[in-house]
Chains A and B, each alone.
Chain A
Amino acid sequence: MRQDTRVTEVPQSLPFAVPGGRRRMLPVTEVVVLVILTLAPLALQDYLTVYATRVLILCLFALSFDLVWGYAGIMSFGQSLFFGTAGYSVALIARDLDIASIFVVIPTGVLIGFVGALLLGGFLLLGRHPSSVIFVSLGTMTGAYAADRLARGWYYLGGQNGIPSIQSMTIGSYELNEGPVFYYLALAILLIVYLLCRFLVRSQFGLALAGLRENEQRIAFFGYKVQHLKAIIFALSGAVAGLAGTLYAFHEGFVWPNMLGVVMSTQVVLYVLFGGAGTLIGAVIGTVVVEAVTFWLSNSYQDIWPIILGILLLLVIMFRPAGLISLVLGERERVGNFGRSRQKGGHGAA
C-alpha cells in the first residue's frame, strides 16, 4: 500500500523549532511571562502590587484546577473546597494556637488540601467502574456548596463574616505583610510549583494522564489502574489548591465562606478555559488576563462591567476554544511529545 513518507526531521539550526518547521513558542512565552511578573512591582503602585499578589495566588489556584481538568480530564467543580478548607484551617491555627510561622502553616495547608482531595477523590473516583464526568462534577460541586453552607452557619468559623484579622505570616521574627515582599514570595512559590507541575506533566506519568484525558477506557485495557491515577492527580491538585488557600488567607488577612463555595470554583474554571486548559502557562495567562480585565472594567464601567466581562469570556470560549494560549502555541506544542524523541528536536507538553 502507499505509505505517506512525510519527513518530520527538525532543522538543527533552529533552537526553538518543532516538527513541521514552526518555532517553539512555549519556552519563549514562559520566559516572557516570568520577566513581566518579575518586573511588575517596579512599575506598579503599592495598591496594585497588593492586587497583583492576589492574582499570583489565584494563578496557583488555577494551576491546581488545570492539573485535574486540563491534564487528566477530571471536571472538579469544587476545587475551592480544598482552597477554602486550607485557608480556614490555617486561619484557625493562627487565631487559636497563635501559630503563623511559614514553616508550619504552608505544610499544614498543603497537607489539608492533599488529604481533603484524597478523601473526596477516594469517594468519587475509586469505584469499581469509572465515574462519569457528570457524577464527579456534581459530586465536587455539592462538596463545595455543603462546605460553604456549613461555614456560613457555624459560629466557631465566624459564620457569614468568616474569620477576620488573621495575624501576618512570619519567617522567624520577620512578618510578611502585603506588599513587594509578599509579592515576590508568592512569585517564588508560583515558580516552584509551576516547575514541579511542568516536570510532572512532561514525565511518563504525564503521558498516562494524557491517555486518561483522551480515552480512559482504552488505557484501562493497557493495564493502567485508572482510578488510582485519577485519585493521585486529584490529591496533588488538592495540595496545590491548599497551598494557594493558605497564601490567600494570610495575604488577605481574613477568610470567609465564599472561599469554599461554588462561585470561587466557577471562577477558576473560567481562568483556565480563558487561558487554555491543558497548558500550565495558559492557566497563568488566563488568570492574569481575567483579573486584569476585571480590575480595569470594574473601575471604568462600575455598573455594567460583569456583563462586558461575561461577553468577553463567551467570545473567547466560542472562537478560541483552546483559550488565549492558542494564539501563540500550535496544537502539537500544546499537546506535547513524551518520548525520547523530544531530545531530538521534539518538545514536551506545555
Chain B
Amino acid sequence: MALLEATGIVKSFGKLTALNGAALSISDHEFHGLIGPNGSGKSTLLKCVAGAETPTQGRVQFAGADITGASPAERARAGMSLKFQITSVLPALTLYDNILLALQAKSSLVDLLFSRSRGALHDRVMGMLEQFRLAERAHDPASALSHGQQQWLEIAMALAAEPRLLLLDEPTGGMSLEERRVTGELLQPIKAGCSLVIVEHDLDFIRDICDRLTVLDQGSVLCCGTVQEIQSNPKVQEVYLRRA
C-alpha cells in the first residue's frame, strides 16, 4: 500500500484552474520527483499534499488515513514535513534554536513550559547540524548563513522530527553547482528513514537522486515512471521542447 495517495486533485483560484485532476502516489522509502514546465502545477500539488492549500476537489490519503481536510499541524504530527520554496528559516534565532524549535514541536505544553526535553534533545540538535555540516555555526543567527546554507538548515529542520514523508519545494534554488552536489549527498542517507517528494527544475539533480518521476503539464499528470522511462518518453520531450 502506498504511503501517500493523492487522487483527482483539482485546485482552482477563481477562474484559473491550477490543477485539473492531478494524482500522486508515493511508496515507503521512495524518492519521487515532480517535474514539469513553469506553471504546470508542481508547487500547487505539493502544497495540496502538505496542507498549505486545500484542494477544490480530490482526496489525499497518508499512511491509510484521509487527510484531505487536515491542518498542516495535523499532517506534521502524522509524519509529514515540508520545506518551503522560499527559504523560511527563522533568521533572528540561532541555528541551534531553529533545529530545537522543529524537534520540540511534538512535546506537550507542560514539557515545553518546564523545558523538560531541552537536555534530552541537545544531542539530536547537534547531530542534525553535524549531518548538514553546520555544527560549527550552531550559535550564529540563521540570518548570517549564505543562501545555500539556509536551504540546508531548512532541510535539517524539516528532517529533525524524523518524518515519514519529506516534501521539498526547490531545495537547490539559488545554489551554486557545488552546493547542489553537496545537497544531493546530504539527501541520500535519509532514504533509509523516509520517503521524499521533490519539486525541482534542475533535471540533472532530480535524475541523480530520484527513483521515480511524475511529469505535470497544465495541471494534469502527463506521465509517471522511472527516470529512464520518463527520459525516453516522447510526450515529455515534446512538452519540454515546446516550452524551450
Contacts and interface: CB of A to CB of B under 8 A. Distances in A.
Interface in B61-118: 71-73, 76-77, 81-82, 84, 88, 90-94, 96-97, 100-102, 104-107, 109, 111-118
A207 interface: yes
- The 7 A-B pairs with the shortest beta carbon distances in the complex, nearest first, are A223-B76, A222-B105, A223-B105, A205-B112, A214-B90, A340-B122, A204-B112
Q: Which one of A19, A223, A341 has the greatest number of beta carbons of chain B within 10 Å?
A: A223
Interface residues of B, number: 52
A4 B152 CA distance: 14
A3 B148 CA distance: 11
Interface of B: 50-52, 71-73, 76-77, 81-82, 84, 88, 90-94, 96-97, 100-102, 104-107, 109, 111-119, 122, 125, 133, 136-141, 148, 157, 161, 176, 178-179, 182
B204 to A, nearest CB: 18
B115 A222 contact: no
Given A204-B113, A221-B73, 11 more contacts: A7-B136, A204-B115, A214-B91, A221-B51, A222-B101, A223-B77, A332-B141, A337-B139, A338-B93, A338-B118, A339-B118
Interface string A182-224: 0000000000000000001001110110110011011111111
Contact of A341 (B76, B96, B161, B176): B96
Given A1-B179, A335-B93, A339-B125, A221 B136 contact: no
Contacts of A6: 136-137, 140
A346 B94 CA distance: 11
19 contacts: A1-B182, A8-B137, A8-B140, A203-B114, A204-B115, A205-B109, A208-B112, A211-B90, A214-B92, A215-B88, A221-B81, A222-B102, A222-B105, A223-B106, A335-B141, A339-B97, A339-B122, A341-B96, A341-B138
B127 to A, nearest CB: 13
A95 B43 CA distance: 63
B101 A219 contact: yes
A121 to B, nearest CB: 16
A7 B84 CA distance: 30
B97 A210 contact: yes
Interface in A220-250: 220-226, 232
B113 A338 contact: no
A224 B96 contact: no
Q: Which one of A128, A335, A339, A341 has the greatest number of beta carbons of chain B within 10 Å?
A: A339
A120 to B, nearest CB: 21
Interface residues of A, number: 39
B73 A8 contact: no
